[in-house]
Structure 1
Amino acid sequence: MIDLMDATIEEAIIHRVGNKSRNEDLHLSEKSLKPDAELESALLKYFFHPFYKDNTVHEFFHEEDISLNEMLKHIDNMQSGDLSFLSGSKKISKLLYRITTHPNILTGELFISVINGVKFKSRKRKILGIFKSERKSNFIELDSDPKNIKANVVTGLDLENLDKGALIFLDSKKPTLLVYNSRGIDSHYWNNSFLGCRPINDDDLKTKHCLDACLNFTKKIADQFESKNDVIKFNNKFTEYFQEAGNFDPSEFAQRTGLNNEQEQALYSHLDNYQNNHAINFKNGFKISEDRLKKLDKRLQSTIKLDTHIELKIDIKSQLPEKNIEKGFDKKRNMHFYKIYFNEELN
């Protein structure tokens, strides 16, 4: 869904944000970063890597009045020209520093960048990126002298370990954003206090949550099944519905998935609790998001792990596994077994 083939960094700067509760300082840079082609490529990979996994779109909000959202105010002023990129980046950094008061929040570098040509949902977008780096890694650096190769330990950033990030789409009347946070315990600090954002309650979000709720329900009652294969077959009832229905209709959901009365009551109770806990509502139904189903494809491979160091990987999208797997018990060996039917081995 994100394509960086034509992406370029228009402007970028790095500030360092300390923790006020530990008497750490805020260090503001005075000059923008001018990355060469190699550094630009590395930065783009670092910035965007976590956003390939989840593209949940968020919106800016404020409990009282959207005009009081401080982050949105800075973005609007940068867009209108009332704030330069340098001045705007400093104000954003000062906002983050001001709310960095919990002792568990880590010090880190704050990258702020304007990025052009990012393709998102088949459309090229202009983005204001805000990224925080907290964890450093050690790397072995090799000397390039072929006659006397030396090795040194250097500290730097792992390109696949961004800690926090936000991609703010600037080319629309109402800015929206994607958000990433590697530490769930910091979500209120990053999402609410700093960015002032929340997921947009649309069909895409409802599909995501409803799928998660159903798959979590299967995990919750997994011990009621005789085998892992039975769990997979039960999960199949949900995934088949979402792939075939087009629209989620709660009145027909249990019937079309073939649940018995006890399972139906337990499922609807679970869905009610899930909706209350996640401030989401799919009681009125919704259009099932095709984008979410594409992401579901990557989750629907289940693994049966056995104590004999054997793993069976099963694609639960297919209806074939339940027909081609049998579970039994060998009295002579006093062991369980799986019998698998197939036509030919695939390389």
Structure 2
Amino acid sequence: MFFYQDASFENLSIHHVGNKANDEFYILSEAPVDLVGDEVLPDLLMQYFMKPFVKANEVYRFFHPNEELQLNEVYHFSKKFFDREIDFHEFSQQVTKHLYEVSEHPKIKPGEVYVVSLKNVQMEGEDWSAVGIFKSENKEAYLKVYPEQGGFQLNYEQEAININKLDKGVVIINTEAEEGFKVLVVDQTNQSEAVYWKDNFLQLKSRNDNYQQTGNLMKVYKNFVNEKLDEVFVLETADKIDLLNRSMNYFKTKETFDSAEFEEEVIGNPQAAGLFNEYKQNFEDEFDLPFQANFEIATPAVKKMQSSYKSVIKLDKNFHVYVHGKREYLEHGYDEEKGMNYYKLYYENESEG
């Protein structure tokens, strides 16, 4: 989906942002960094900035609660830069000042802000120009060993940056501007105060593309089976697992999702299908993410959801039964003599090992 191997930097500016709530300040550089003639640093920076986005399958758009995109500061300044109404360094200063204004949680760490403009970034098979905004918050100590007079000497760098650990970043692709651009975001910080990057600084919402459609529908169906069906139907755990396995098989073997086909092949019950559509509609209304009746199934989203589709029946602390299919080969009952529940399994061959 996203490739940077053929991309190159056009500009780089570095600033510093403190924590506004702690009465720290921001420091703006006077000019961009000169990378001309440096054969090593651009490659290191490209790895540091861009590599984390290769696995960022989810695509976002800028938005504003008032539905006026121009009120979103990062969108506003990004569009002015792409439209050549402001130069790059002014763009970098404006987004840095905005980042400072939203850095109001007392636990937000200060750090350097790197702003870059790029060309030949590939997104969904096409080349685009882009801008990136990155913040480094965590510093590490590094040892440096070097030869000296027949032996070796040791030195260190106390507060250095690990180029394999990008703390926060966003890449804004110069396409679909009127809808809020295509935006990729990375945030490696898990603390509650970290939401300021995506929610306060960037103000993003899902683009609702095939990846999002696939992942969301699989989540909604899983929750429907585990939480809603019990209210109407009497289901054993094995029945629920069978419904989940059938849906997983559908998404793994089909190229396109078809709502009517899914209801017939996977759900297989008109009443249950009606309940699912009601459940799905509640999700659409709550999160403002409508589902399409047909869409291309995104394989990366299926792989991501696969681990959360549990197919295990846990029996006390003695047995785990893994069910991968063939619900008709699994029987459940109650032994009155022993006063215990049981499962009966039918099979043809026993695997060794």
Give the corresponding residue for 1:279: 288
Cα contact 1:275–1:281 (8 A) shared by 2: yes
- Is 1:29–2:29 an aligned residue pair? yes
* Higher Cα radius of gyration: 2
**Residues 86-114 of structure 1, C-alpha deviations (whole Å, 9 max, x = no match):** 12211111111112222233222211001
Superposition map of 1:64-213 within 5 A: 64-136=67-139, 138-145=140-147, 147-150=151-154, 152=156, 154-170=158-174, 174=178, 175-183=181-189, 185=192, 189-213=196-220
- Find the counterpart in structure 2 of residue 55 from structure 1: 57
Question: Hey, what does 2:257 align to over in structure 1?
Answer: 247
Offset at residue 26 of structure 1 (A): 0.4
1:159 Cα deviation after fit:
3.1
Q: 1:217 to 1:142 in 2, by over 3 A?
A: farther
Letter in 2 for 1:57: V
Structure 1: runs of 5+ lacking an equivalent: 329-335
* Deviations 1:11-45 (CA, angstroms, capped at 9, x unpaired): 11111111111001101122322343332222222
Give CA-to-partner distance per residue, 1:259-314, whole Å, 9 cap, x none.
568976775565345434432222xx333234x223423553579799x9xx99x9
Letter in structure 1 aligned against 2:126? R
* Residue 121 (structure 1) shift: 1.3
Shift of 1:202: 4.2
CA distance in structure 2 between the aligned counterparts of 1:154 and 1:117, rounded to whole angstroms: 36
**Matching residue's letter, 1:205:** Q
CA distance in structure 1 between the aligned counterparts of 2:185 and 2:94, rounded to whole angstroms: 20
Judge which range, 114-123 or 149-158, deviates more: 149-158
Q: Distance in 2 between matches of 1:72 and 1:196?
A: 9
Residue identity opposite 1:289 in structure 2: E
CA displacement at 1:6 relative to structure 2: 1.3
The 1:154/1:277 distance shift into structure 2, 3 A limit, reads farther
- Is the alpha carbon distance of 1:226 and 1:210 closer, same or farther for their aligned partners in structure 2, counting shifts above 3 Å? closer
Q: Check conservation: 2:69, 2:76, Cα contact below 8 A.
A: no
Q: Which runs of 5+ in 2 are unaligned?
A: 332-342
Say what the alpha-carbon RMSD is for the aligned residues: 4.3
What's the secondary structure of 1:288's corresponding residue? strand
TM, length-normalised to structure 2: 0.73
Counterparts of 1:169 and 1:195 in 2: how far apart (Å)? 14
Q: Distance in 2 between matches of 1:107 and 1:225?
A: 53
Aligned mates of 2:282, 2:155 — CA distance in 1:
56
Give the letter aligned to residue 34 of structure 2. Answer: K
Distance 1:341 1:142 in 2: 60
SS at match of 2:107: coil
Return closer, same or farther for 1:113/1:264 CA change in 2, 3 Å cut-off: same
2:247 to 238, 253, 272: 238
The equivalences for 1:306-345 within 5 A come to 321-322=324-325
Look up the match of 2:17. Answer: 17
Identity of aligned residues (%): 25
**SS in structure 1 opposite 2:254?**
helix
Query: CA, structure 1 residues 342+162, in 2 after alignment: closer, same or farther (shift >3 Å)?
Result: farther
The answer (yes or no) to whether the contact 1:191–1:198 under 8 Å persists in 2 is no
Look up the SS of the partner of 2:56 in the other structure: coil
Q: Distance in 2 between matches of 1:171 and 1:212?
A: 29
